A and B are shown apart, each in its own frame.
Chain A
Amino acid sequence: MKRIDCTGCESYRAMTRRQWMRAAVGAAGGAGFLGLLDPRVLYAKPAKDRDAESVVVLWMGGGMSHLDTFDPAPGTDHGGPYAAIDTSAEGIQISEHLPRLAKGFKHLSLIRSMTSSEADHSRATYVMHTGYPPLASMQHSTIGSIIAKYKGRSPRDENLPPYVSIGIDWAAGYLGPKYAPYYIGNARQSDATLSPPQGIGRERFKRRLKLLNDLDRSFKAKHRKNDALKAFAEHYNAALLMMRPKTARVFNLDEESTAVREAYGAESAFGQGCLQARRLVQAGVRFVEVSLGGWDTHANNFEAVAAKSAELDQGATALISDLIRKDLYDRTVVIIASEFGRTPRINANQGRDHFPQVWSVAIGGGGLVSGRLIGASDQGRAVKERAVRVGDLHATLCKALGVDYKQTNYSPDKRPFRIVKDEEARPIGELFG
């Protein structure tokens, strides 16, 4: 019966999509099906004044080359052709291909000493999101699900899902489907399924739901304890709540002016995702992730990174300045992160390969100290001072939002999981005034 895991490293069993998506379902309680949900239980306790309310993660999927973005080493053999430019934060230089971010960098702090031992995309991405290495038998919850659980639904619209993920999909993990993200594939296209199809009016839809509720009864009664069935009900409940017109509007980017849409990059799915993120945190959603893929630059690194940087530069800058303008930045933590950096060595294809030894993460907003440089690398080749690990980053997020990162949650089969696995992990003190 026992299966011996390859402790510490299972990467030969490269993670499957099944594992990524597996919903280790079974949230406690099991709310009623179809409108029987009591919205009061979904409210979070009011946040303390100083706690941030929301998080936006801008996810640079594929492994963003730190040397060609946030940790330039111009003039070295491995530094590549880009120039480094000054930013509005004293003592911080970044790549010339991020000019707008450079101008506003005083609103961000920069960690240049992220480090891990995971150099496989799926594993490293999993670890950055959950804080745990993948297991074959169950799915851990992402930090997004954890924040969603502890901060609860939006105090301004309890029908909104607390966690939305754009361009990258996650299962809820052991916390159950209530905290799974609502997934948006491409923010440029609005989701037509947020309202009933043409020709099905309100009354008819209600009638359909009533019949569905009736027909579902006997099966539901027979399998009262089944976690997968409970998950199913959770998904329908969440879907029905989101369909309410006031809530569905939050997902309609057409309500924004052309000027605003263009400011974020009208042609960029990532840019529109950033705009969607701003609308979501404005409406009180707790955790939004927006993915910008294509950083896996094994070949032609310098062309690709310049193009990706332009997209990141426009979207992220538009988001941060919009949040500041709307007085939302102080209560919203914004992070620009990736699963690892890329090798100092430039390979034969003018590319750089996977490099988890050291990379960079930018973080700001949410009342965190900004304009500060945290840690340092040895010209992007290794951590020089103050290593920061994923546990530290998660602990920082929790602290910013007023969530105790030392708490333990339990899976449906009663396995304990600390929010932050590593007991040595600490919030990054420099970010708290």
Chain B
Amino acid sequence: MEVTADLAQGRFLRLSALSTAFVIACASTAFAQFPSFKSTRPAGPKEILAPLPAEKPLPPEVSFGAFRPFNDIDRFILARIKQEKVRPKELCDDWTFARRASLDLVGITPALEDLERYMAWDKRERREKWVDLLLDQRYYADRWTIVFGDLLRERGGIPGAPTNALRDYLHSALERNVAFDELVRNLVSADGDPNQNLATGFLLRDRLDADVLAVSVTDAFLGVSLKCAQCHDHPFDYWTQNDFKGMAGFYRGTRRDFSGESLGVRHDRRRAQGRFLTGATSEQGAGPDALAELITSRKNPYFARVIVNRLWERMMGVGLVNPPNNFSPLNPPSHPELLDWLAIDFIESGYDLKHTLRLIALSRTYQQSSSDSLATWASVVRHNKETPTEADDIVPGSLFEGMRLRRMSAEQVNDSILVATGYYSQGYRGNRPSAQTMYPPRPRSFLRIFGASDRETIPTGVADGSIQQALSLMNGGFVNGAVRSHANHPIRRWRESRKLNGRQLIDAIFYQVLTREPTKRERKWAMDIITDSRGDAGWEDLQWALFNTREFQFIR
């Protein structure tokens, strides 16, 4: 009540102490200023997600003609598609699969050399071997460091920590495929000298501010946004300012330690006073160690569901729960049993990210052809013969009866162009090019124009088109520099070491950029422009044109 009274006069608690990012994101609504709304907030114990069942839900038996399930994921998906009387799409071809899986798992279009191996494999085991090859590539860690970097708002420059501390920590953990629960525990309860323990970069990124960390941790690992609760009690939501304060309490004793030789991060457990969102308690007390334990506990109904949903969203283009940071009984999953199945399977695998990614990639669901007409709000509601309301607001494609045609992310466009043209110097760990960029990318940079995350607000980047992107791809210094015949260009390598002739070179470029062979007509158009040009101008024009096609910029 006191809190509400304060709010009625427009006082927002501790707001000035928060970082700009969170002030911007801070969702406060004027409803809070009318006490009459207060009664609509659910009273009594908090309704949280149901606990994960003790065992995996049984995948439904499903017979659907020629659409046979590849693994258990497909049984859940096909059963639902059948129930909604929608028809699933055919499987995509091998080239499409190679390209899609490569962009999703390692973030770049496949290299010519890898494609040659792929096509040489026996057709029956080709796709499985391809997924294993990708998951073993060093690019894997690069790709997922960007994904988790967006989620944790990683920045290259964190005061008090070595440059790129958090990214180096994530990269190394992902490279070793550290169990995800362990990774999260290390981040959430990081302490000690930042030079020795790079995971402290996560806490230092928000200057050890307990309030900001509460929002950050809860959003990233529990899929719950506390941005409103930070400032006031939300009239229509479960989470109150009291819950927010409880989560922030875990970090109340977290300080820089100025007594030792270096400025370490230290947790004073006596000052910590955390209360976990779900009401669960820990024998480890109420500090970051307890928080780490409570988050990653098998009994926490959020943690495993939230991460498998994020992986699903990255692979499929839309989450089972959407948006992925709104886990709430009010926002049920499109496929609740599949979500639980994936979560328990993930736990049983030892929180193995690669295990779940592999499972998704090898499902029939993931291998369907892309479609331009997936079931939408209108079609599903019409099918159910109900009058649509705003509550029926479903995201198109949530039945997963086919793949969405997705626009590449900023990093996927950037890195695919760089790898295809060799337009980079060996740098950061010798890995893929965008891994050399210090995050967040500069304003007006290629990555930003293409929607890379600014690493300020928690949600990640976007992949929508714009006029600026078209101008940048046609006229920008980046693409035009990359297609030029520079010393590191693979065309030179193919010409010199592989002794490819003109026609073979054209084919190689098509494979490298579009992951397919050119058609006869396309080969002729390419040949014409090359023979009509002086020097390497025709080769430049060919690559320029390929990078500007829709086919390149979309994941089919």
Q: Which of B226, B393, B461, B471 contacts A17 (CB 8 A)?
A: B461
Chain B 435-483 interface residues, beta-carbon cutoff 8 Å to A? 443-444, 451, 453-454, 457, 459-462, 464-472, 474-477, 480
Chain B contacts of A223 at CB under 8 A? 372, 405, 550
Question: Interface readout for A396-421 with B: 1 if CB under 8 Å, 0 if not?
Answer: 00000000000000000111000000
Chain B contacts of A211 at CB under 8 A? 525-526, 529, 541-542, 545
| Residue B158 CB within 8 A of the other chain | no
Chain A contacts of B235 at CB under 8 A? 9
Most-contacted residue by chain A among B29, B380, B529 (CB, 10 A): B29
Chain A 351-372 interface residues, beta-carbon cutoff 8 Å to B? 351, 353-357
Chain B contacts of A231 at CB under 8 A? 464-465
Q: Which of A351, A355, A413 contacts B378 (CB 8 A)?
A: A413
Chain B interface helix/strand/loop/mixed? loop
Question: Interface readout for B22-47 with A: 1 if CB under 8 Å, 0 if not?
Answer: 01111111110100000000000000
Whether B529 and A207, one on each chain, are in contact in the complex, defined by CB atoms closer than 8 angstroms, is yes
Chain B 475-511 interface residues, beta-carbon cutoff 8 Å to A? 475-477, 480
| Residue B544 CB within 8 A of the other chain | yes
Whether B376 and A7, one on each chain, are in contact in the complex, defined by CB atoms closer than 8 angstroms, is no
Question: Interface readout for B543-556 with A: 1 if CB under 8 Å, 0 if not?
Answer: 01110111101101
Whether A14 and B228, one on each chain, are in contact in the complex, defined by CB atoms closer than 8 angstroms, is yes
| Residue A13 CB within 8 A of the other chain | yes
- The CA of A64 and the CA of B15, in the complex, are separated in Å by 17
A413-B396, A415-B377 as given contacts; A204 in contact with B537, CB under 8 Å: yes
Question: Interface readout for A164-187 with B: 1 if CB under 8 Å, 0 if not?
Answer: 000001010000010010110110
| Residue A232 CB within 8 A of the other chain | yes
| Residue A228 CB within 8 A of the other chain | yes
- The CA of A18 and the CA of B330, in the complex, are separated in Å by 21
Chain B contacts of A240 at CB under 8 A? 470
- The CA of A161 and the CA of B326, in the complex, are separated in Å by 37
Question: Interface readout for B57-80 with A: 1 if CB under 8 Å, 0 if not?
Answer: 000000000000000000000000
Whether A228 and B465, one on each chain, are in contact in the complex, defined by CB atoms closer than 8 angstroms, is yes
- The CA of A137 and the CA of B28, in the complex, are separated in Å by 22
| Residue B297 CB within 8 A of the other chain | no
- The CA of A119 and the CA of B230, in the complex, are separated in Å by 14
- The CA of A181 and the CA of B465, in the complex, are separated in Å by 12
Chain B contacts of A6 at CB under 8 A? 236-237, 330
Whether B27 and A14, one on each chain, are in contact in the complex, defined by CB atoms closer than 8 angstroms, is yes
* CB-nearest residue of chain B to A237: B470
A183-B466, A193-B475, A235-B469 as given contacts; A3 in contact with B549, CB under 8 Å: no
| Residue A307 CB within 8 A of the other chain | no
Mark the stretch among B4-12, B129-137, B141-149 that contacts chain A.
B4-12
| Residue A23 CB within 8 A of the other chain | yes
Give the distance to chain A from B454, nearest Cβ to Cβ, in Å. Answer: 8
Whether B330 and A117, one on each chain, are in contact in the complex, defined by CB atoms closer than 8 angstroms, is no
- The CA of A235 and the CA of B391, in the complex, are separated in Å by 33
- The CA of A211 and the CA of B475, in the complex, are separated in Å by 16
Whether B9 and A345, one on each chain, are in contact in the complex, defined by CB atoms closer than 8 angstroms, is yes
Whether A236 and B470, one on each chain, are in contact in the complex, defined by CB atoms closer than 8 angstroms, is yes
Whether A12 and B393, one on each chain, are in contact in the complex, defined by CB atoms closer than 8 angstroms, is no
Whether B467 and A212, one on each chain, are in contact in the complex, defined by CB atoms closer than 8 angstroms, is no
Q: Which of B16, B227, B469 contacts A299 (CB 8 A)?
A: B16
Whether A21 and B229, one on each chain, are in contact in the complex, defined by CB atoms closer than 8 angstroms, is no
- The CA of A121 and the CA of B26, in the complex, are separated in Å by 8
Whether A229 and B31, one on each chain, are in contact in the complex, defined by CB atoms closer than 8 angstroms, is no
- The CA of A347 and the CA of B556, in the complex, are separated in Å by 53
- The CA of A431 and the CA of B228, in the complex, are separated in Å by 38
Chain A contacts of B556 at CB under 8 A? 219
- The CA of A354 and the CA of B231, in the complex, are separated in Å by 11
- The CA of A119 and the CA of B24, in the complex, are separated in Å by 11
Question: Interface readout for B280-292 with A: 1 if CB under 8 Å, 0 if not?
Answer: 0000000000000
Chain A 9-40 interface residues, beta-carbon cutoff 8 Å to B? 9, 11-14, 16-18, 21-23
Chain B contacts of A21 at CB under 8 A? 451, 462, 464
| Residue A252 CB within 8 A of the other chain | no
Interface size, B (range): 35 or more
A220-B550, A296-B24, A357-B30 as given contacts; A3 in contact with B10, CB under 8 Å: no
A197-B480, A211-B541, A228-B554 as given contacts; A16 in contact with B323, CB under 8 Å: yes
Give the distance to chain B from A184, nearest Cβ to Cβ, in Å. Answer: 9
Chain B contacts of A117 at CB under 8 A? 29-31
| Residue A8 CB within 8 A of the other chain | yes
| Residue B242 CB within 8 A of the other chain | no
Most-contacted residue by chain B among A191, A193, A220, A298 (CB, 10 A): A193
Whether A11 and B28, one on each chain, are in contact in the complex, defined by CB atoms closer than 8 angstroms, is yes
- The CA of A191 and the CA of B471, in the complex, are separated in Å by 9
Chain A contacts of B476 at CB under 8 A? 193, 197
Chain A contacts of B443 at CB under 8 A? 185
Chain A contacts of B25 at CB under 8 A? 14, 122
Whether A215 and B228, one on each chain, are in contact in the complex, defined by CB atoms closer than 8 angstroms, is no
Give the distance to chain B from A332, nearest Cβ to Cβ, in Å. Answer: 23
Chain B contacts of A122 at CB under 8 A? 24-25, 27
Chain A interface helix/strand/loop/mixed? loop
Whether B471 and A239, one on each chain, are in contact in the complex, defined by CB atoms closer than 8 angstroms, is yes
| Residue B195 CB within 8 A of the other chain | no
Give the distance to chain A from B237, nearest Cβ to Cβ, in Å. Answer: 5
Whether B10 and A343, one on each chain, are in contact in the complex, defined by CB atoms closer than 8 angstroms, is yes
Give the distance to chain B from A227, nearest Cβ to Cβ, in Å. Answer: 8
A14-B228, A229-B550 as given contacts; A120 in contact with B29, CB under 8 Å: yes
Whether B236 and A226, one on each chain, are in contact in the complex, defined by CB atoms closer than 8 angstroms, is no
A6-B236, A12-B239, A296-B24 as given contacts; A136 in contact with B323, CB under 8 Å: yes
Chain B contacts of A212 at CB under 8 A? 544-545, 548-549
| Residue A349 CB within 8 A of the other chain | yes
Chain A contacts of B325 at CB under 8 A? 13
Q: Which of B15, B228, B376, B391 contacts A12 (CB 8 A)?
A: B228
Q: Which of B377, B405, B469, B472 contacts A226 (CB 8 A)?
A: B405
Q: Which of A120, A215, A229 contacts B27 (CB 8 A)?
A: A120
Chain B contacts of A310 at CB under 8 A? none
Chain B contacts of A207 at CB under 8 A? 529, 541
* CB-nearest residue of chain A to B224: A12
* CB-nearest residue of chain B to A183: B468
| Residue B109 CB within 8 A of the other chain | no
* CB-nearest residue of chain B to A214: B525
Chain A 137-192 interface residues, beta-carbon cutoff 8 Å to B? 137-138, 161, 169, 171, 177, 180, 182-183, 185-186, 189, 191-192
Chain B contacts of A41 at CB under 8 A? none
| Residue A216 CB within 8 A of the other chain | yes
Whether B407 and A228, one on each chain, are in contact in the complex, defined by CB atoms closer than 8 angstroms, is yes
Chain A contacts of B472 at CB under 8 A? 193
| Residue B398 CB within 8 A of the other chain | yes
Whether B237 and A197, one on each chain, are in contact in the complex, defined by CB atoms closer than 8 angstroms, is no
Chain B contacts of A357 at CB under 8 A? 30, 33
Give the distance to chain A from B481, nearest Cβ to Cβ, in Å. Answer: 9
| Residue A282 CB within 8 A of the other chain | no
Whether A16 and B459, one on each chain, are in contact in the complex, defined by CB atoms closer than 8 angstroms, is yes
Most-contacted residue by chain A among B372, B546, B556 (CB, 10 A): B372
Whether B236 and A8, one on each chain, are in contact in the complex, defined by CB atoms closer than 8 angstroms, is yes
| Residue A255 CB within 8 A of the other chain | no
Q: Can you offer 23 A-B residue contacts whose CB atoms are under 8 A?
A: A3-B394, A7-B236, A11-B234, A12-B236, A14-B225, A23-B464, A117-B29, A117-B31, A122-B25, A123-B29, A180-B467, A183-B468, A211-B529, A218-B522, A219-B550, A220-B550, A223-B405, A225-B372, A233-B550, A298-B16, A345-B11, A356-B30, A413-B396
Ranked 6 nearest A-B pairs via Cβ: A16-B459, A11-B27, A239-B470, A219-B551, A193-B471, A226-B372
Knowing that A5-B390, A121-B24 touch, tell me 17 more A-B residue pairs with CB under 8 angstroms: A1-B380, A2-B392, A6-B237, A7-B391, A12-B239, A23-B465, A118-B29, A122-B24, A122-B25, A180-B467, A207-B529, A208-B545, A212-B544, A212-B545, A212-B548, A413-B376, A415-B378
